[in-house]
Structure 1
Amino acid sequence: MFGARRRRQREMERRLRELDWLDQAYGIGAYAPSGAPPRRPSRIPGAIALLVVMGVTTSAVFTMQPQVFPDRVHDWLGTNPERLLPVRDIPIGPGDFSFIATQPDSDEPVAYNPCEVIEVEINPEGAPDDHEELVTRAMAHTSDATGLQFELVGTTDERGFDSMSMNDPVMVLWSEQDEVADLAGSIAGLGGSYRIEPIGGGKQRYVTGFVVLDREAFADLRSDEVRQGIVDHEFGHLVGLGHVDDPRQLMHEHGGINMAYGNGDLAGLAALGSVACR
């Protein structure tokens, strides 16, 4: 599905990892900061649960990936891009939010580049009949809140969300615990993104990610509002939101009392979308 170029790229990355060469040569290999959050479940009413997983990625070779230039190189070359969508206003009102990751020695969140489209692919195997509508609405809700632009680019038969390349579209799929152990019990979904750090320093950013949803949970659920809330919650994790203790927020560990983004969620999402272009 992804073509011969990506297969060659993945093979190169595999060999580089085996030789432990990428980090030494370019400083952007498998980025795994010591503060990476652990895997932990979150629950939603009716014992339907959500889970955030923060992953790491292996970046490709510098000459193949010009987007990993340090920010200052873009300044020198005059290649700084412009935002695709306007910055969103941060809503006024009560509500908490948290970020999965922040820049080193800073409160600024790690986020996607607001000047690049976030491409999304769906693996339809085992997905509910309305899977495209669920994903499309989650993309729209998250885009409206962040000012990040998503694009559904098609379907894929890939399922290896734990071995993605930085050029892969975001992967959305439905699975079960036999394939994804973290879906055991009452866990209804996983969401997270992979981040890189530019050569020579600069701001970390997310480059791709995944949303994995529990096939059996979606088959049993009859509430469209809850089903959409689960997908939206995982898209919140995808773009960088963490859990909160505030039950008014969709990003509450148990899913909250509302099945749509609350004021706190919206404030955090607006902040994630307001970062500078990379």
Structure 2
Amino acid sequence: MFGARRRRQREMERRLRELDWLDQNYGLGYLPPVPPPPPRKDPSRLAGAIALVIVAGVTTSAVFAMQPGIFPDRVHELLGTSPERLLPARDIPSGPGEFSFMATQPESDDPVGYDPCQVIEVALNVEGAPEDAQHLVETAIDNTSQATGLRFEFIGTTEDRDFENMGMDDPVLVMWSDEDEAPDLAEEIAGVGGSYRVSPFGGGKQRYVTGFVILDRDAYDDMRSGAMRQAIVDHEFGHLVGLGHVDDPRQLMHERGGFVTAYGDGDLAGLAQLGAIDCR
């Protein structure tokens, strides 16, 4: 009996140490103090190279791979919880139109997307941005949330501009720039958008955790069409949540853009699928 009690105690101490480490690194809330685990590299920083880059026409997009990964399934197992969606999944339109995904799960056609049980925070850097920047961003948030069933939250402005070194807990960064700061804005590229993805420890589905949308400052200085100004931001938010380019000119995600100014049926079908993935 004493041996069994000691084994249970050791197992409880092991779980408490693991939960304490999760609390320190992922903010799970207060847990009883226990001895810390051995030092390790900070998992909240992005480490990895570009996994996929698409450059075409007036927009460009990037999806980044991040290591080390995260292990949310283990968190819920330890805590005895189960996540729930923040907004209902959207019906997938049946109208004609193409769509593609920026990235899919390994050995699968299932898309990589954001967790529908987590709020996607968005911050705006106003340096060099047009006067209507916040309106453009908030409208893009509304349009993309309505199409995906993902919940966004505009949290205000930021001084951060380092889109190449973002942490897992950083909000999505939206900013206006030029090709000196963001080389992908060269020539006729009016915007870039993409997200960082992580792979859970021990297997599981990859997820996006944060990302960026960068608009060309000079292009917006010369652009007078309000519909087109909004369309470019919406297009990049489509990339942000996981849509790729298509050849169908009826879709906002057409690789060159400029044919339509709102999400088409193909775009909406892809966005609905991206928002319908399981909570992690």
User: After superposition, what is the alpha-carbon deviation per residue over 1:152-200, rounded to whole angstroms, capped at 9, x for unaligned?
Assistant: 0011111110110111000000001121111111110000000001111
Contact 1:193/1:208, CA 8 A, preserved across alignment = yes
Alignment partners' CA distance in 2, 1:175 and 1:273: 29
RMSD value over aligned CA atoms?
2.1
Alignment partners' CA distance in 1, 2:104 and 2:117: 19
Secondary structure of 2:209's partner? strand
Partner residue of 2:106?
A: 104
1:200 aligns with 2:194: no
Contact 1:100/1:241, CA 8 A, preserved across alignment = yes
Secondary structure of 1:127's partner? coil
Alignment partners' CA distance in 2, 1:22 and 1:40: 33
Secondary structure of 1:103's partner? coil
Secondary structure of 1:154's partner? strand
1:38 aligns with 2:19: no
Aligned sequence identity (%): 62
Secondary structure of 2:197's partner? strand
Secondary structure of 1:53's partner? strand
Partner residue of 1:6?
A: none
Secondary structure of 2:191's partner? strand
How far residue 71 of structure 1 moved from its aligned partner, in angstroms, is: 2.4
Alignment partners' CA distance in 2, 1:161 and 1:180: 9
How far residue 211 of structure 1 moved from its aligned partner, in angstroms, is: 0.1
Alignment partners' CA distance in 2, 1:267 and 1:204: 21
Q: Which has the larger radius of gyration?
A: 2
Letter of the 2:66 counterpart: T
Secondary structure of 2:213's partner? strand
Letter of the 1:166 counterpart: M
The counterpart of 2:214, out of the listed 212, 232, 244, is: 212
Letter of the 2:52 counterpart: P
Partner residue of 1:260?
A: 262
Letter of the 2:137 counterpart: V
Partner residue of 1:15?
A: none
The counterpart of 1:50, out of the listed 52, 56, 59, is: 59
Letter of the 1:245 counterpart: D
Alignment partners' CA distance in 2, 1:111 and 1:77: 24
Count matched residues.
241
1:150 aligns with 2:152: yes
Alignment partners' CA distance in 2, 1:158 and 1:75: 35
How far residue 124 of structure 1 moved from its aligned partner, in angstroms, is: 0.2
The counterpart of 2:130, out of the listed 122, 128, 131, is: 128
Q: 1:199 to 1:71 in 2, by over 3 A?
A: same
How far residue 57 of structure 1 moved from its aligned partner, in angstroms, is: 3.3
Alignment partners' CA distance in 2, 1:138 and 1:243: 18
Secondary structure of 1:211's partner? strand
The counterpart of 2:228, out of the listed 226, 229, 239, is: 226
Letter of the 2:163 counterpart: F
Partner residue of 2:10?
A: none
Contact 1:56/1:195, CA 8 A, preserved across alignment = yes
Secondary structure of 2:82's partner? coil
Q: In structure 2, list runs of 5 or more residues that go unmatched.
A: 1-24, 26-39
Q: TM-score by structure 2 length?
A: 0.81
Structural mapping, 1:8-87, within 5 Å: 30-31=47-48, 36-41=51-56, 43=57, 49-59=58-68, 68-71=70-73, 74-75=76-77, 77-87=79-89
User: After superposition, what is the alpha-carbon deviation per residue over 1:97-144, rounded to whole angstroms, capped at 9, x for unaligned?
Assistant: 000001111111000000000000000000000100000000000000
Alignment partners' CA distance in 2, 1:87 and 1:174: 31
Contact 1:31/1:195, CA 8 A, preserved across alignment = no
Secondary structure of 1:265's partner? helix
Letter of the 1:40 counterpart: V
User: After superposition, what is the alpha-carbon deviation per residue over 1:203-229, rounded to whole angstroms, capped at 9, x for unaligned?
Assistant: 100000000000000010000000000
How far residue 255 of structure 1 moved from its aligned partner, in angstroms, is: 1.1
Secondary structure of 1:190's partner? strand
How far residue 92 of structure 1 moved from its aligned partner, in angstroms, is: 1.1
Q: In structure 1, list runs of 5 or more residues that go unmatched.
A: 1-8, 10-20, 44-48, 61-67
Alignment partners' CA distance in 2, 1:252 and 1:96: 9
